[in-house]
Structures are given as structure tokens and as C-alpha cells.
Amino acid sequence: MKIFRWSVTVALAGFLFGFDTAVISGADQPIQKLWQLGDFFHGTFIMSMALWGTVVGALFGGIPCNKWGRRKTLIWIGVLYLVSALGSALAPDPYLFSIMRFIGGLGVGASSVAAPIYISEIAPKARRGRLVALYQLMLVVGIFAAYASNWVIGETGPNAWRFMLGIEAIPATLYLIMIFTVSESPRWLVVYKHDVEKATSLLQELNPDIDPNHLVDEIKRSESESTGKSLWSSKYQTVILLAFAVAFFNQL
């Protein structure tokens, strides 16, 4: 039960991912008219700025995950979402708006790395696929919620776009509160922190019916087997190509 609850909590980062990505569509034309923006500037720095941040966050999101831990990274992701939502809603000019959207994009990109990693590392083998899929499910729900809230808020006045963007602060705050209730990934504790005692205690808590020492040994064995192996070796080429193709065509 605790594994499922923690997985759902972390998957809320996917909800914020979807919401943040889609919510800008409702603010598109009002912002362009308000600040009298040309098409190039509007497309590159208003509509696409979060995507630039997403690229950076996805490329480098693994660094804080490994250095500071999955949990701490997930907490900071929530902070990025909250700052972006409030900052975008209150931005007095397009330049600050672009910066705030970029910050949100960093959270989006980093969450696409940190959340699935965390869920996969606390989930037992038999349930791993289903639990990690919660992240993708929440992402789609977030997209739907963004369009629904835009529709509800859209006719409330000339500053409706600010409320469209600012309302994301509500789920971001909820996520931040909830993420403090999860513990660190036991795998990270073993592999990067070398805190076997704490990892053993956590694994016992998550899997009371399984010998935690056996699970720790599995983590160590899998890590030693993967050490020195290139992700781009022929063994993984087909799998990586398929994963890339699915993600690419989904976005396209």
C-alpha cells in the first residue's frame, strides 16, 4: 500500500508536466495582443520557452538525481513548478514571463527523469511496469485538466490568462506537501550514498514479506553487472531505438 501511495504521489509530477505543457495554449492570443508581440518573438520566447527548459531539464536531470538523491530532486521540481506558475501569472512583461516559463520547463524536463526513476526503484518487479505507467497516465490527465480549466476560466475577463497560468500553483503546492511524505529511494541509498543500513530498513518497510538483505544483494549485483557497459552498445540499440521512436512520434 505504501509503495502505491508513494508512486501516486511522485506521479503527480507527471500531472504538473502535462498541465504546464498544455496550459499555455489558452494564454496564446491574449498575451500576443497584450504585449504586441511579433510572430517570431511570440513563438520562440513565449509559446516555446517552456520547451527549451524541458530539453535542458531532461538532458541534465539525472545529475541532481544521482548527486543529491531522487527525493530531494523531486522536491526541487515542485518548487520550480510553483515558482513558474506564480511568476508567469504575475509577470509584468514578456521577458520575465519567458524566464518563468523556462523555469517551469526545467521542472518538466527533470520530472520526466526523476519521477520514473524513483517509482521504478521502489516498485517490486511484478508491479514495476504498472506503477511507472502511472506517471504517463497522470501526464495525460494533466493535459486534459489544463484544457478544461482554460475553458472554465477563459471568459472571465481580460486577465483570464493570468488565472489560467496561476491556477497551476494549487496542484504544485499539493504536490510539494505530499512529496515530503515519501522516503528516499533505497537503490540510491545503496549505490550512491552507500548507506546499506538505512536502505535495508526502508526495504523492510516497503516489502515486509521479503528478506531486505536479499533485496540489497540484488541491488548490488545489478549495479556491478551494469558497471562499465555502454548504453549505446549493440545489446541495447533496438530497445533504445524503439523507446526513442515512441517518445518522438508521440510528441510529433
Mean pLDDT score, 138-163 = 93
Please state, as a whole number, how many other Cβ atoms lie within 10 Å of the Cβ of residue 229: 10
Query: Residue 113: its pLDDT value, please?
Result: 95
Residues in CB range of 141: below 8 A, 6 or more apart:
15, 18
Q: Where are the beta strands (DSSP E) in 41-180?
A: none
| pLDDT tier, 155 (very low <50, low <70, confident <90, very high otherwise) | confident
Distance in angstroms (rounded) separating the CA atoms of residues 37 and 27? 13
Q: Of 9, 4, 129, 110, which is closest to residue 64 (Cα–Cα)?
A: 110
Query: Which segment of 51-65, 77-91, 194-208 scores lowest on mean pLDDT?
Result: 194-208
Mean pLDDT score, 105-113 = 96
Query: Residue 222: its pLDDT value, please?
Result: 83
Note if the pTM is more than 0.75: yes
Mean pLDDT estimate for the chain:
92
Alpha helices in 91-233 (DSSP H): 94-122, 128-153, 160-166, 169-179, 186-191, 196-206, 212-226
Give percent of the chain above pLDDT 90. Answer: 76
Q: What is the pLDDT of residues 40-52, one digit of tens each?
A: 999 999 999 999 9
